[in-house]
Amino acid sequence: MTTTTTRPTVRYRPPAQLGGRGPLGGSARRRLTIIAFLVPALTILALFVFWPMASALRLSFTDASGFGREEFIGLANYVEVFTDPNIVRAMGNTVLYTVLFTPLSVILALALALALNSPRLPLRGVFRTWLFLPFIVSLAVAAFAWQYLLDPQVGLLNFWLRGLGIQLGNVLQDPVLAMPTVVFVAVWKSFAFYMIVFLAGLQDIPSSLYEAAKMDGAGPLSRFTNVTLPLLGNTTGFVLIIATIAALQAFDQIYVLTGGGPYRSTQTVVMQIYQSGFKDLDLGFASALSYVLLVATLVLSLVQFFLTGRKAKDAH
């Protein structure tokens, strides 16, 4: 009699998930991991961004000075922002600075980016490095350097111009020339960053589009207006927004070069916030003015974002 031995059937079991099985499921573990990574960043934002913003909003409705008790005064600070002649003039100076700085810096950056993007230009890397060097320097340090260059007695710029028969004078103390001079220093310092952004946008444009335009008989100007500009719509919108925000927040070079003078001709909104908050100790009014500037910056940024986004969509 033959005895047949039957082996037990072994069923396949999939491998266990990494980490084994614990009291928490995989999705719950992932959520806890994400939260653990977010908590340090959110804590820093809460302490140094959200809490100061909330405190500034509360102070804007008080007569806080940093000393003594605070009293709630409602919208009085906001009313003063739009009725004080000095504040209205500071707003006008800020608008003038923005109108001068933004187009000049953007146009210069785009022109240099087009030149440096040309493969026929020798030593492109060297020129890019030289042009980017001013952006590395601190704006306050650059302003100090330009202050000495523009000095009417010992400044090199005035010395060189006198050799050409040109008497520049003390432009930083001239109510007409002070603002253009401050804008010039800011453009010299900042255009390199916008130039790099434009270079990145130009290098993303396929060369086949330019070749097709050439085959259709399009000249350099036609290729620029019909190929380059439309495809740089998003990049141009980004640069315009960043340049506008930088112009509205201008402080360093104005503080170093003119201090808001002469005769308040370069006194911008941020300079006025500094004056009211740290010199006049009117923290409530400075907070209200800060929030007015914040809202104005947000509105202008949104308008530019929608306009440039619509142009880019129409181009595509």
Tens digit of each residue's pLDDT (9 = 90 or more) over 31-73: 888 899 999 999 999 999 899 999 999 999 998 887 878 889 9
The answer to whether residues 178 and 172 touch, using CB atoms and an 8 Å cutoff, is yes
Tokens 């030593």 found at: 123
Strand partners, 72: 62
Q: What's the confidence (pLDDT) of residue 227?
A: 84
DSSP state of 62: B
pLDDT exceeds cutoff 80 at 5: no
CA 198 to CA 106: how far, in whole Å? 9
pLDDT band at 108 (very low <50, low <70, confident <90, very high): very high
Residue 236 has pLDDT above 80, yes or no: yes
Strand partners, 62: 72
What is the reported pLDDT for 208?
A: 84
Q: Is the pLDDT of residue 1 over 50?
A: no
Handedness of CA 125, 131, 137, 139 (dihedral sign): negative
User: According to the model, what pLDDT value does residue 42 have?
Assistant: 92
- Asked whether the predicted pLDDT for residue 22 surpasses 60, the reply is no
Q: Which of 1-10, 149-158, 292-301 has the highest mean pLDDT?
A: 292-301
pLDDT-derived band at 111, boundaries 50, 70, 90 = very high
214 and 282 Cβ atoms separated by less than 8 Å = no
pLDDT of 234 over the 70 cut: yes
Which stretch of 43-47, 229-233, 294-298 has the lowest confidence by average pLDDT? Answer: 229-233
Mean pLDDT (whole number) for 4-9: 57
Mean pLDDT of 93-111: 94
Give pLDDT, residue 58: 92
pTM of the predicted protein model: 0.82
Q: Is the peptide bond before 262 cis (omega within 30 degrees of 0)?
A: yes
Mean of the per-residue pLDDT values of the chain: 85
Can you tell me the distance from the alpha carbon of 100 to that of 239, in angstroms, rounded to the nearest whole number?
Answer: 15
